[in-house]
Each structure stands twice: as structure tokens, then as C-alpha cells.
Structure 1
Amino acid sequence: MTFAAASSLALTLALCAAVPLQAQTATSSAATVPSLEQIFRAEPYRGDNAKDADFSHSGRYLAYLWSPFGEPGTDLWVHDTKTGKTTRVTSPQIMAAFEAPEDMARFEKKLKQRQDEYAERQAREVAQQAYLRGEKVDLSQWESAQIEVLKKELAEKKAKDDAQKAADKAEADAEKQAMAALEARRAGKPEPAAAPASAASAADRKEGKKDDKDKELWELRDELKKKLARDKLKPGDLYPGPAQFVWAHKADELVFQYRGGLYRWVVGDRAPTPLVATQRELRTVAYTADDSGFVFMDETRVLRLNFRQAGVQVVNRELIHPDDEQKKYRIAETTISEDGRWMALVAKAPLKGADDKPAAPGRQVEIMNYSERWATAKKVNREVSDDKRTERPLALYIRAVPVGAETPRKQPAPVFVNGGGDVWFEMSDVAWAKDGSHYAFTTWERDKELLRVYLGTTACAQLAACGEAAKPEMILERRGDVGHEVVNVLKPRFTPDGKTLVLTLDETGWRQPYAIDVATRALRPLLKGEFEAHQVVGFTADSKSLFVLANQGDSAAMNVLRVDMASGATQAVGAAGEYHRSATVSEDGRWVAANAGNWARRPELKLLAADGKAKAEARTLTDSSDKALAGLPLLQPERFHYTNRHGDRIEAYVFKPAGWQASDKRPAIVYVYGGPLNDRHIVEVDSFQNTAYLFGQYMAAKHGYVTVAVDPRGHSNYGRKFGDANWERAGEPQAEDLEDLARLLPAQYGVDASRIGLNGWSFGGFQTQYTMYTRPDVFAAGIAGAGPTEWENYNSWYSGRTIGKATDRTKPVLRKYSLLPLAKGLKHPLMLVHGMQDPNVLYQDTVNVYRELLDSGKESLVELFLDPDGVHAMGGVVKPAGWHRKYEAFWLQHLGRATR
């Protein structure tokens, strides 16, 4: 399920409390179990992983964006693979040389504010629990302190305003006296005496002080609420660090983008050099072919500068439309070939309605905000399956990049067009061969279930005589049965020699790389086997091997495989049992960099020898965690799998409490997600998901529960059979697998069959409800978070490729998968959890199923737990510690305490 980063599966990244755990044995006593306030600490124990790692052309230097724990933004670092030295290219101190002092002061002020907010929130959490234990705690101390600060600020503001008023009045009185004197002189009369100073201002100030003193507490609270809203941290409040960088083609230097400016850094320089400073949103593109200049973009234009000359040149001049041109295309995207000679322009035109006027925007729905005295509504986009599509007409142009100040060439005709309208059309980025001789792209028409691959040449793209020869050739077509998740990863890439086009296909039920011979158009698989390998990350310089991320041999881990393109032989580059993410390969094929780790070793950026032999040389380049994490005694899970009723292998992990025996009859909690999510699932060796992992180990250690996280059919990265399992039977395959799991837990994992709970978020919230309604005797209680209960109201991009075909624009064809008619089957307690301002899975989904439950007489079985300010991952007034404290109370109430 796409549910974006807000899905429960992605909570590890989206919520601040996601922390990786130290490997521990299951012998910890309850007395040493960290509290929920410690586990879900206000300040995250872990910072961000390194991102956008990329090697210089020579392969000697690795650049990446990252900042140590606690520091804002992501700075630019460069590691020398030869010497092992790492250079920090940017920092707040270095970039202060290019910033206004006021901006740097604001960054510093806001960073302190963030630190203070973390400290206050943590203190509040701890104090609240102390208060509930009966300790004497002043819970109003933080508000009182804030009000005192506010009163001081209000008094200072009033004094300043009064002083300004007095100055203005004095100036006005002086001007009046001067004018009166001037009139008197002109009339030959004596000048009038100056009026005595008015005492009214002093009286007003005295009265004002009395008003401030007598201001009601509730008025001050209103003022405080406004102040907190004004001061709330926004994305631009903290020092961001560079956003992008690009290496030169030959030289060991790079250009990076930072806050509307471009900066150049050459290896060995002490500081970067500014190139361009604007207030526009800039994006780095590439160096010119000879490294004498740089190409960059603003909103739509591609611009070029020369390091030795002043001025900037527009490279992709806007499209010219004759008066009789029907489609007024505007450039939307530009991709330049590595040799700098060619560019692909993707252009789009306005979508016209029946009256030839621009089409109206798509559907919008209202989300209510209850934070003010009166409720207000905001609108969010929501395209559902019975909405007509509003795809804009698209055209692809291939142009030569102008050389120097040459005379502009005549605009060529587009090489590919799509009329847009009520169609579902997707197009990949355009890929270029290294020498610019060929380009390729893929298209997907969902309504037709039609996948196509196009290959074009630049041999005569600018010559009018070429005619149709300039258009790309369709070299591969698949209609139907291509796998619902192939399109997201189908990104064509040329080998360095330009002779082979590599892309991901699902020809046999697994997403794996395939090669198309550019000369013969022959297609062949590069890998075979029942595993996923859909992320191609690079090639060796001789084009004989490629590198791909694959879960070969372990579905819970992804390793970097070096694949011989002739034989298909594979060689693991990284350490076994680790999950490698965001991998990149040096152009010479000697080095690989990836964020890698597992439950015992926290994920960090690692430098790996690409031949897969010198694992001892693997270097860890980052340290992203708070040192306090090492002192947090937490458990490590045990992986297991079972076979479902259809013979499928289902992966899971379990936390067993201290003193566990197979003969026990303990309560258990099962965590499920169950939906496809591109390349993610729950059982991953480096995933420290908030509820499945962190809360799961807590319930095992603190209360003696057996807690399980499971990946039933429906998940991604287990092949097409799993990823497509929901098609036209949403929830049923998962419910079967969960029922099979519940049957084996008592015999194999010391669980009381009558005390098993089920929990899930997002698709898992839907799945929990579906299972509780359709198999009411399997699970004793359930917690369902932010689940889509009416698929006809979810976004059509996801539901139309996951749940069922949605091509009928006249009626909501996905209504048959609604949970509302099933809700009457509930027999056991169910808690529904939702953020009331969720723009993803609308809060109305929970309201509507809640209504059905009440109408079915389930009042005693169902309860609501809501975050009034929360979105899909919550994040409003409900914090992770309190969130899971609510879960803890629910499970203890309905599943009881552990007995052996």
C-alpha cells in the first residue's frame, strides 16, 4: 500500500521515536525493562542515515549528505577511499560565510527551541507518569513558566508601543506648535506659548499596567496558544545543509546546491566557492562535457554557466507554438545526456474541457480542524476510482544542446505524444546512453494493462528529412499479467558501453533485471531464481557486470549482488544478514557504498569492496545514534516461518519473554501490515518499527507476552504471488494466513489460544478489522489504526492497482470491498485509532465503520482513540509514548497478564 511515508510500516522513519535497538538476550528482568518514556524518548535516539551517496568519476572519492546525531540538516562529506580520510565540506560555521547574519542567528535560535521542546516534552512525559503513581508533581509548572515569559514579553511590547505612541504624540505636538508659531509670525502676532506636557500618557501607562495585572488567566492562555502557533517549528527554520551535489565528469570536484545558491568545491580546497546566488529553487544537473562549466535548473529552465565567463545561458529555450498549434506545450522536465550533447524535453499542455477552456481541478475533500473555537475545514486532493482522469497532454522532444553562442536551431517535432484526458498514463524518466547516441523510456497504460519500452536514436533527430525515422521504436510490449508493482521500479538504464539496455521486469513472478540488446532488440534475463532483485545500482566500467540489490537467500535482508551479465553468476558484496539500502557503485566498479545494518548492528553508511572478497576492508563512515542508546537494555527478536494452508512460506519474528517455555499459556499480540508497499515489508532485519518491534519487545519484557510480527500474503518483495494477493479479494489471503498463525502459536510458542490479540496500522488497520469481522473467534481483541474501510474513497493510484480494476468512471466499482457490511460480525473488543486530520486515509473511514458497529449493537465492544491534530502517522497531541501506553492498557485489560 502506498500510504506514503505515513504508513505504519514507515513509522520508523516518520516518527521521532523510532530507535534502533541493542542486541540483548531474553533474560532481562522486568525490573530492568526501560519505560515507554525511555523507549519512545521525545528526542530520537537516532538521526538520519546518509543519503545521496555518489562516487567521483575517478572512484577515489565518495561524497554523501549526512550530519552527526543532534545536528540539524544534512551536510556534505567527502571520503577518500585511498587515505581513509573524511572531509566535512559544509557545516553551519562554514556556510555562515555566505549567509546573512540574521539567518544564521535564526537557525541557532530555532535549534535551541527544538532542543528545549524535546527536553520539556520528555520532562512532561516523566512527570505525568510520576503523578499517576501518586507522587507529588506540579503538572502546571511548564504552562506557568510559559505564561510568565509571555507576560514579560507582553509588558515589554506594551512599554515599547507606549513609548512609540508617546514619541509620536510629542512629535505631533511639536509639529503643531511649529505650525502655530509660523502662522503667528506671518500674522505679526506673538508666538503662542508651548502647551504643557500631557500627563495622559502616564495615566494611560498606569491603567495599562493595571489591565495587564488583572488580565484573566484564560486570556493569557489564549495569547499563549497564539504564540506557540506562531513559533511552531517549520521546515525552513533550521539549518538545512546542502540539498544536492554533482561530481565533475573527469576532475575531482563537485558543485552543490544550498538555499537557492550553487557552490563549487575542488578536492583539497579549504572552503567551497559560490557560483550563483538566487532566491529561486535551483537543482543541480551536471557538469558540461569538458568540465568547463555547469548545467543547472530553476523551476522549468535549464541554465548553463562557464566557470571562466560571466553570465548564464538558457539551454532549453521554451517551445515555440505557431498560431494554429492546438497543443500549447510547456516544458515540464529536462534530461541531458552525459556527453552534454543532447537533451530530452518532456512537455505538457493544459487539459481542455468540452468548451475548450482549461479543465477544472480534480476532486477535493474537506478535513476538519477542531483546534480553534469554531471548527474550520481545509481541502486536500482526493482522486477516487469513479473520477474521470485529468491527464495533461504530453509530448517528448529530443533537442541538441546549443554549443556556445550558436544560432538557435529550428525546433524539431515531438518524437512521442500522448493525448491525455480520461486515461491512466505513466511514463518513466528518459535514460541516455553514455555517448548520447540512444535514449529509452517506458510507458504504462493501466486501463489497457499495456506496458511498452521505447528505444530512440539521435542519429538524425534534428534533420527534417528523417521524418518518422526520428521517432523512437517500440522494442518491447506486454499486455496484462505484468505484475502490479513493476511500473514503480521499471527504470531503464544503459550499460557504460551503450550496447545493452537494462530494466526490471516481472516475467516469471519475480521482479528482476533483464537485458535488451540495443542492436538486435533481443531480450534475456540476467538473473534466475525465486527472489526479488529490482534495484539496479550500477555497472562495472567494462559493462561485463552489474550490481543489484536483491534478497536472494533471505527475504528479510537485501544484499548487493555483483552479477556477471553473460552467465548470471552472482557474488555477494556486503555482509550476509544485513539490509543494504540506497546503494551506489563507483564508475570503475571497484567500490560500493550503502546504508547497511541489522538488529544487532545499527544501520550506517558503509564502504564495501565491490569484488566481494575483501569484507574485512568494509569501512563504516557514519555514526548516527545517540551514545545513550548503548545503555538502553532491549530485546532482540527470533525469526521463524510457517507454512500456510496453501503451502506458502510465511515469514515472521517473535519476542519471547524471560523464562519462556513452550508449555506456557501466555497472552500474545500479532502485528500485521499485509499490503504491498513497493519494496517494503515488516520482517526486515534492520527495521525497528515502533509498534511491531519497540512496543513488541516492551510487552514481552515488561508483561511476559509473546509478541509476533508477520508478513502474510499481500506484502511486497516476496514475488508477484504475494504482491498481487489482494487483487479482487482484499484482506482474505491475509486473514487465512493470520488464522493459520493463530492455530500454531499455542502448540509451538507457549500461547493461550483464547488470549491472542491482533494489531495493525494503515493497510494493517484494514486487515485487523477485516479479520476481526470475518473470523470473529480467532482473535480475542484487536487494535486497528487508520485503516481504509471504504476502498472506493481511497486514492485511485493505489486502490486501482492493488484492490481491484477501477476503470468504470460511472460508479464506485470498489464498493464491494467495503468493511461496513462486515462490521456486524465483530464479537470481541476492538479499538479504532485515527488522526482526525489524516489526509491519506480519511478519518471518515473510521467514523463510518464506528457508526456501523454502533448500529449493530457493538457499543460495549468498540472504543475510539483519536488524535485531534494527528495525520496518517498521528504526530499531533498524541505522542508515541502515550500512544503505546494506551495500547498497553488495552491489551492488559482484554488479554490479561501472563501466567506460566
Structure 2
Amino acid sequence: MKPVTFAAISSLALAVALSAAAPLQAQTAPPKPVPSLEQIFRAEPYRSEPAKDADFSRSGRYLAWLWSPFGEPGTDLWVHDTKTGKTQRITSPQVMAAFEAPEDMERFDKKLRQRNTEYAERQAREVAQQAYLRGEKVDLAQWETAAIATLKKELAEKKAKDDAQKAADKAEAELEKQAMAALAAKRAGKPVPAAAPASAASSPDKDKEKELWELRDELKKKLARDKLKPADLYPGPSQFAWAHKADELVFQYRGGLYRWKADDKIPTVQPLVATQRDLKLVAYTADDSGVIYTDETRVLRSGFKQTGVQVINRELIHPDDEQKKYKIDQTAISEDGRWMSLLAKAPLKTADDKPAPPPKQVEIMNYSERWATAKKVNREVSDDKRNQQPLALYIRQLPTGNEPPRKQPAPVFTQNGGDVWFEMSDVAWARDGSRYAFTTWERDKELLRVYIGKTSCPQPSGTTAAPQGGAAGLGSGPAACDESAKPEMVLERRGEVGHEVVNVLKPRFTPDGKTLVLALDEAGWRQPYAIDVATKALRPLVKGEFEAHQVIGFTADSKAMFVLANQGDMAAMNVLRVDLASGATQALGAAGEYHRAAAASEDGRWVGAVAGNWAQRPELKLLATDGKTPARTLTDSNDKAWGELKLLRPERFNFTNRHGDRIEAYAFKPASWTAADKRPAIVYVYGGPLNDRHIVEVDSFQNTAYLFGQYMAARHGYVTIAVDPRGHSNYGRKFSDANWERPGEPQAEDLEDLVKLLPTQFGVDARRIGLNGWSFGGFQTQYTMYTRPDLFAAGIAGAGPTEWENYNSWYSGRTIGKATDRTKPVLRKYSLLPLAKGLKKPLMLVHGMQDPNVLYQDTVNVYRELLDSGKESLVELFLDPDGVHAMGGVVKPAGWHRRYEAFWLRNLGRATP
């Protein structure tokens, strides 16, 4: 099993390099000194969030997206003109200040300063703490001293203000007393008593100065009170929608809707609707004269030239119970603006018509106060009886605004809810509104269905074609359109559907409305398939062993499709143009880059995608589909200081496991590496299904696998490896389904096969190999350490679900096993607790104690089993008292990995080439 290798960064053509077997090569020595963990895991992240929600105007000339440059809060709206090559920032705190209360903008500014101050202080503290441990003279109390000095000043100012108010209140009371005395004397016919001389202002009571411990208590309260929350910082727009014809858009910002027109002489932001409600944009009206949106319960329409708001769909009534109102959950409007779909859910009730009790809840303890407190979070596990809300799908014509209200039609599709696991996709509309489509999935029955519905109306006399809605068909009577016509089931699959396909089905029509395209797993890979609307025939649109489940658009003539696919390189995703007739593909992006969050223009000339790799860090790029025009980079998301760290880059390789499967991985090797070395090594693993993600991705700078891996190689001479064993997503059904009903075992086999390669091919000491993983990888690390106790010399397992019967059923029921008996915790058969006694080598368990995802009790319970089986000298705990699933409490990334560094050095030793 000799590995195939190549330098991942030496060329961007990674897909081509995969086909050639080349010997492992030592990397160029990094500059000295090696960056410290405090530099690598800087308090202020080196990257801003990538651009999101990219979308083209109907003309294809403009591309809009949400993003903010490095260091700025929120996600602002940006627009790029493909014709002029110019990019314009539409929103900013300064622009939106015109529509905000001054005190809100002051709060945003204050909190931004606080965030930046906290970043700077945290970084300085981490650097100082390491200097102190090196024996340097450092005042570690300086930050507390400064904070207490500020607190004392604030307390003094507050006391002075309170004392002044007390004095004013006292003076006012004395004047009121004199006035009442004068009034009483006047009524009694007595002389008004002379005003008493003003009493000398009493000096304010001098409080006893607080002791240091009291000031620390006050400081703790202040820090808790002022802790940054997501709503404290300027958010930017959360959503936008382009017009159907014009080059203009409407965006949603903090309960308001705003308009921007590209063809204005001086494009500016114009307010449309200002509320404090949770508004969600749906679409422009068909003629672009207004906008349609929803609040919590209704679908609303506002015109640009008219005042007022029109309710175009009121609350929905349950057909069997008029007291049970459906709440609108999703709204989709056909592009011609004549039809809308309303997916609604009814409130849960008991048999005696009372509100249903809340779902099962578990308590999570908080130890930050004097006494521990508990908060409750919802938890649904595999053996719980489900209580799914009833749902109904309504197909409605949009009223023109002139006709009287119509009686609510019957829903076209219903599901009664209850003790079932039922999922339904978004509703997709044909561009002309003639058809709609959706999919359903019933997990317990393993039943997948695809539906297509028609919206045709009665044919008016004297015409040759039936209209697709419109005023002619509105109202009631013989000419009314049938809004209750049931959709037709056009595809059904029972069993062998693939565990990872349900959430990527996403049906959508081609522009001509003749074909429905959706992702299926018919041949072992999630790929697009076409259903002919007329014949209902199903055919694949691509062929080959690769994943291609994200369709991003079509050409205007419906002859070609754009899709993201890892064709030729499982660690990358490119944009493919696919000929719908022949299946021929053309890659549009640079080979060896991972393309995400992509959108295609409706004229088929442009694609926007966040793309990059380890050498060219990801940014939003504009790709021309003509194969000639160079790509344009539209964002700049990274701090230049990141590039100055001059860190190592990994080498990709793959190997063949015992079953003939190709396993992808990458490795960091120190500059002085040779194949004859006997170096310690660390293997990082995840191993579980993760929708469309895995670890070995060319644009992923994962904290432990990548950043810490390169540090250990550069600083300590380790060989560090990240591997994607069977069990991962985006490698086809064989991989994603491998975990089903045998979690951990396929992954452990692949890890065994990897370890066999390391001594001869990677210069590794077979006696000094460690294993590390987080979440599912934390489970996998433990499973491997317990069932193959001599394979690894030590392990670190973070936040691993050790008791699958207690994990969320939305995941466990899709990836672990089926709960065949809902009265018992059947998934306990996969618990790690009975296996823990097999541990023979050092193991560190890591967990955030307030984790609502993988409960901290999973680590506590396996720790108990380890202690009970005499493993006290082998197991240790590393806990974040305030941490959640990704931790993020008092334990920060630099300190987190400093603990990892110490563990590995203690248990694997230093490199001895």
C-alpha cells in the first residue's frame, strides 16, 4: 500500500497531479523563528467571514453579496458591475445611521470599541503569561488592576450622581413641605410662617472603601453585564432580493425594507417599510412595482408608489378545526408573480385540546456564579415518541388587489404530524408559474417521493391556450382557477435511498419549465438527475465517481446546467458547466481550488463563487463561462499579517485500504525530514458523515488538523497527518453509509491501514503515533483506543458522543442506526462505555461543560467507566467550564493547543531524526 503523493501547493492543478504517483519530497525550510501558538491563534481572527448569498441581477450585469472587510462588524451589501468592473459598497454603518436611532448607533460604536479592546487585551495577556512562564518579569495583575481602577472611578461617579439626586430630592421635599404649610395657614386665616432657613447641605455619606475581594466581585458582575452579545454589534443587511426585470434590489435590515436602484444617477438607499417585526423578503411583485414579504403570520405586499400595506394572505385555518390556525412557515412565489405556495404548520395539542407539553429537556450546569445553576435545552433522542407538527401546503393565486376576499381553498398536500419523522423540501416553481414541485421523506418508512403540481386555469372562451392564473381566473365561479388540485407523485423510492441525500435533494425547474432537476443517490454518488415533466422519465445528467449535488443555475436556453462537483479531486470543488443533452462537462474555475457559495447569472455568462486553497486563500471570485476572460477577485477578507507568518503547507497523499477504497489525507513534515527518520506523529481524524464536508479540503484551515499540525511539524519536528477514512460525506454512498449500524469500525480499519504506512513511507516511529479528533472524531479516537489498544501510543478525544442513545435523533437516526423499538434505547448497543476497559495508552478527554450538542455527561460517564476499570493513571480531563461544543469559553485556542502540545511532548517525546 504505497501512498500516492504530491505537493499540494507547488501547483494549482491538484486534480491533474492526482493521477501521477510521485515520491514524498521534503518541504522548503520555513523561516526562523517558528511562529508561537499565540501568533498562530491570535485573539483577533486573521480572517473575516467569507462573502455569502451571492446573487445576480436578472440582466446578469450586477452581482450582489453580503460581506464585510477584515476587522469590520456585520455583513454589508456590495454590488459589482460586470460591465465596468467596478464594485460599490451599498450599506455601511455610516449609510444606515440615517435610518437608525442615534442611541443605537452609539451602542454599536461603543460595543465595537469594547470588542477591539478585548481582542487587544486578550492577546497581550496570552503573550505575557507565556513570558512569565519563561521566567521573565511580568506583571500579570496589570489588567485586573486597570479594570478595578476604572471600576472604582465608575462607582465613584455613580455615587456622586446618586448623592446629587438625593440632595435634589431632599431640597424639593423641603420646598413642598413649606408650600403645604403656607396653604394650611392661609386656609386657617393664620399668618404664613416664615420660611425656614435652608438647611446646610449635608455632606454625602462616605461609604467605607470596598476591599479588594469586594471590588473583584463587582468587576465580575460588570463583566457579565457587559459581555458582548450578537445583537450588540452593527449587523448589516440580512437578506436581499433582485427585481424581476430592472437592475434594482430590496434588502432587509433590522426590521425594515430598503430599496437600491443601479440605474439611478446617484444610486442611494431608499427606505420602504420600517417596523420592529421580523420581516422576511419573498420577492418583487411580477411587474416590479412593489415587494412581497412576510411577518410572523401573514404575507404582505407594499407598492413603491402607494402608501399602506396589503395583506395578501391572512392566517390559515385548519380544515378540521377552525380554532387551530396554521402559522405560515415558508412562502415561495412563482417568478411570474401570479402564484404562491404557503407551507404552514399547526400548533401541537393534546388529545383533550390543550397545548402540547414542551419536548424533553436536559439540564446543563453553569458554575460561574456562587452557586451552580442549571439551564434547560431541548433534547430529542432516538427512543422518544415524536410530536411533529401537522403541516399543510397551500397553492394560492396572488390577488391583484381589486377583487374581494376569497374563501380559503383546501390544501393540496397535508401531513398529520404526530409520532413520525417527516421532512419536506422547499417548493420550487417553474418560471412561468405553470408547475411547482417538492419532495418528501419519511424516515421510518425509508420512503422518498417527488411531487409535481399544475396550476392551469379554465380556458376562457375564444382562446386556444389555458392561462396560467391572472385576473381572468380569480374569484369564484366557473372561471375560477382550481387552487386545490392535488400534485402528482412522479417518483418514489423505498429503501436504498442513501443516508446523506435527503437534505440535498433541492428540486428546481429548468428555465423552460420542461425539466425538473434534483439531486439523487441512484448510482452511489449524489448527482443531478432530470425528470421530464411531460413523460415523467428519469435520467442522470452526469456520470462518474464524484459528488455533484449543488446545482447553481442554468443557461437561458435550458441547454446547460452549472453545478459544483469534486470531479477529479475529492479535496476540491469546481464549477462545472454540464450539457444537459450529452452530459459533457467543462470546468470553469481554477483546478485545485475549492468553490463554495456559488451563483450563476440567468444569461449563463457569469458565475460567482468563494474560491481558494491553501496557497490562494478563499475570496469571492467572478468567473466568466466563456473560458477566456480571467477571473476577478472581488473581496479581501484576510489580514495581511496572516501571510507574513510564513507557515508550512501540507503535502497531499492517498492510500488504498484493505477493501480497495482510496483514502485521502495530507501531511505536514518538518524541513529536515527524510524517509529514514523515526519521528513522532499525530493523526487527526473526524470520520463521521457531515452533509457536504470533510477534513481534507484544500481551502480548510481547521484549527487542530491544519494550524496546530503545521506548528507541531515546524516547532517540534513531528509528522502530522489529517485523514478522511470511510464514514465521511462527499466521497459517495459507500463512504457515508459505511458508518451505518457499525459506527467507528470502518474508520478504525482505515486508521490501521494508515498506521502500517507511516514507518516506511513517512519516517515515523511506529511506537510514537498519537490519535486526535473532535466531536465524531472524539468518538472515533476513543473507539479506536479502546478496541485497538496497541495501535496508537496516546490519544486526545474532544467532545465525543460516547452514548449514541442520548444524542440528537436528527443525526443518530440518519447516520448511526435505526431505532427499531421506540420503547427502548436501542442505540445503546453502540455505546463506548462497555469498551472503555480496553484502554492501554494515555488518553486525554476534552469537553466544554456547557455543550448543548454533545452533552458533557458523555465525557463524565466514560471517565467514570475508565476510573472504575483501573485506568486512573492513563486518563486525564481538560475542561472548559464555560465552553460549548466548539468550546469558546475561558479556554482560548492558543491555550487549548498549548495543552495539546504538552500532552504530545510528554507522551510521544521529541523528534530524534
Aligned residue identity for 1:641 = N
Match of 2:495 among 480, 486, 499: 480
What is the CA distance between 1:206 and its match in structure 2?
4.4
Match of 2:6 in 1: none
Match of 1:755 among 768, 778, 788: 768
Q: How does 1:215-294 map to 2 (within 5 A)?
A: 215-267=210-262, 268=264, 269-294=266-291
**1:397-455 C-alpha deviation (Å, 9 max, x unpaired):** 11110012211222211111111100010101111000000000000000000000001
Match of 1:541 in 2: 556
Match of 1:774 in 2: 787
Structure-2 separation of matches of 1:397 and 1:42: 50
What is the CA distance between 1:321 and its match in structure 2?
5.6
CA contact (8 A) 1:573 1:610 kept: yes
Aligned residue identity for 1:533 = A
Match of 1:610 in 2: 625
CA contact (8 A) 2:455 2:482 kept: no
Decide whether aligned partners of structure 1 residues 827 and 199 sit closer, same or farther in structure 2, where only a CA change above 3 A counts: farther
Q: Which moved more, 1:790-799 or 1:58-67?
A: 58-67
CA contact (8 A) 1:513 1:526 kept: yes
CA contact (8 A) 1:25 1:635 kept: no
Relative to the length of structure 1, the TM-score reads 0.95
CA contact (8 A) 1:332 1:346 kept: yes
Structure-1 separation of matches of 2:725 and 2:55: 36
Structure-2 separation of matches of 1:110 and 1:657: 43
What is the CA distance between 1:197 and its match in structure 2?
4.2
Match of 2:528 among 489, 508, 513: 513
> Is 2:43 the partner of 1:36?
no
CA contact (8 A) 1:596 1:604 kept: yes
Match of 2:17 in 1: none
**1:689-745 C-alpha deviation (Å, 9 max, x unpaired):** 000000000000000000000000000000000001111100000001011111110
Match of 1:694 in 2: 707
Match of 1:144 in 2: 145
Match of 1:445 in 2: 442
> Is 2:772 the partner of 1:726?
no
**1:567-589 C-alpha deviation (Å, 9 max, x unpaired):** 00000010100000000000000
Match of 2:850 in 1: 837
SS at match of 1:758: strand
Q: How does 1:462-611 map to 2 (within 5 A)?
A: 470-611=485-626
What is the CA distance between 1:187 and its match in structure 2?
2.7
**1:39-97 C-alpha deviation (Å, 9 max, x unpaired):** 00000111111111111111011111111111111111111101101111111111111
Aligned residue identity for 1:237 = D
Structure-1 separation of matches of 2:590 and 2:157: 61
Decide whether aligned partners of structure 1 residues 541 and 754 sit closer, same or farther in structure 2, where only a CA change above 3 A counts: same
Structure-1 separation of matches of 2:454 and 2:537: 17
Match of 1:623 in 2: 636
Structure-2 separation of matches of 1:185 and 1:590: 92
CA contact (8 A) 1:263 1:272 kept: yes
As a proportion of its length, which structure holds more helix? 1
SS at match of 1:34: coil
Decide whether aligned partners of structure 1 residues 254 and 506 sit closer, same or farther in structure 2, where only a CA change above 3 A counts: same
Aligned residue identity for 1:353 = T
Match of 2:132 in 1: 131
Structure-1 separation of matches of 2:214 and 2:736: 55
Structure-2 separation of matches of 1:528 and 1:692: 33
What is the CA distance between 1:355 and its match in structure 2?
2.8
CA contact (8 A) 1:32 1:633 kept: no
Aligned residue identity for 1:598 = N
Match of 1:57 in 2: 58
Match of 1:817 in 2: 830
**1:272-302 C-alpha deviation (Å, 9 max, x unpaired):** 1111111111111111111111111112311
Q: Percent identity?
A: 84
**1:638-674 C-alpha deviation (Å, 9 max, x unpaired):** 0000111111110000000011000000000000000
SS at match of 2:826: coil
Match of 1:735 among 748, 758, 761: 748
- Greater RCO (CA < 8 Å, at least 6 residues apart): 1
Decide whether aligned partners of structure 1 residues 629 and 25 sit closer, same or farther in structure 2, where only a CA change above 3 A counts: farther
SS at match of 1:274: strand
SS at match of 2:441: strand
- Structure 1: any 5+ residue segments left out of the alignment? 1-23
Structure-2 separation of matches of 1:529 and 1:395: 38
- Structure 2: any 5+ residue segments left out of the alignment? 1-24, 458-468
CA contact (8 A) 1:329 1:348 kept: yes
Q: Which moved more, 1:232-241 or 1:551-560?
A: 232-241
CA contact (8 A) 1:820 1:848 kept: yes
Match of 2:86 in 1: 85
Match of 1:704 in 2: 717
User: Could you say what the CA RMSD is over the residues aligned between the two structures, in angstroms?
Assistant: 1.6
Match of 2:97 in 1: 96
Structure-2 separation of matches of 1:257 and 1:25: 52
Q: Which moved more, 1:543-552 or 1:332-341?
A: 332-341
What is the CA distance between 1:863 and its match in structure 2?
0.3
CA contact (8 A) 2:30 2:646 kept: no
The ranges of structure 1 where at least 4 consecutive aligned residues each deviate by more than 6 angstroms after the TM superposition are 461-469
What is the CA distance between 1:322 and its match in structure 2?
7.3
> Is 2:84 the partner of 1:74?
no
Q: Which moved more, 1:660-669 or 1:346-355?
A: 346-355
SS at match of 1:447: coil
Structure-1 separation of matches of 2:115 and 2:634: 27
SS at match of 2:202: helix
Q: Which moved more, 1:312-321 or 1:669-678?
A: 312-321
Match of 2:21 in 1: none
Task: Report how many residues are paired.
Answer: 869
Decide whether aligned partners of structure 1 residues 320 and 742 sit closer, same or farther in structure 2, where only a CA change above 3 A counts: closer
What is the CA distance between 1:30 and its match in structure 2?
7.9
Structure-2 separation of matches of 1:30 and 1:368: 46
SS at match of 1:157: helix
CA contact (8 A) 1:557 1:684 kept: yes
CA contact (8 A) 1:412 1:464 kept: no
What is the CA distance between 1:31 and its match in structure 2?
3.9
Q: Which moved more, 1:653-662 or 1:800-809?
A: 800-809
Aligned residue identity for 2:692 = D
> Is 2:169 the partner of 1:154?
no
> Is 2:394 the partner of 1:381?
no
Match of 1:333 in 2: 330
CA contact (8 A) 1:25 1:636 kept: no
Match of 1:6 in 2: none
What is the CA distance between 1:189 and its match in structure 2?
3.2
What is the CA distance between 1:760 and its match in structure 2?
0.2
What is the CA distance between 1:181 and its match in structure 2?
2.1
Structure-2 separation of matches of 1:855 and 1:621: 58
Structure-2 separation of matches of 1:255 and 1:83: 22
Aligned residue identity for 1:283 = K
What is the CA distance between 1:326 and its match in structure 2?
8.3
SS at match of 2:714: helix
Match of 1:20 in 2: none
What is the CA distance between 1:808 and its match in structure 2?
2.2
Match of 2:465 in 1: none
What is the CA distance between 1:601 and its match in structure 2?
0.1
Q: Which moved more, 1:192-201 or 1:127-136?
A: 192-201
Structure-1 separation of matches of 2:687 and 2:300: 46
Decide whether aligned partners of structure 1 residues 39 and 25 sit closer, same or farther in structure 2, where only a CA change above 3 A counts: farther
Aligned residue identity for 2:206 = E
Aligned residue identity for 1:605 = L
Match of 1:391 among 381, 388, 391: 388
Match of 1:764 among 764, 777, 789: 777
Structure-1 separation of matches of 2:556 and 2:614: 35
Match of 1:424 in 2: 421
Aligned residue identity for 1:560 = V
Structure-2 separation of matches of 1:326 and 1:506: 42
Match of 2:7 in 1: none
CA contact (8 A) 1:580 1:596 kept: yes
Structure-2 separation of matches of 1:569 and 1:27: 40
What is the CA distance between 1:196 and its match in structure 2?
4.5
Decide whether aligned partners of structure 1 residues 470 and 734 sit closer, same or farther in structure 2, where only a CA change above 3 A counts: same
Structure-2 separation of matches of 1:324 and 1:882: 58
CA contact (8 A) 1:30 1:702 kept: no
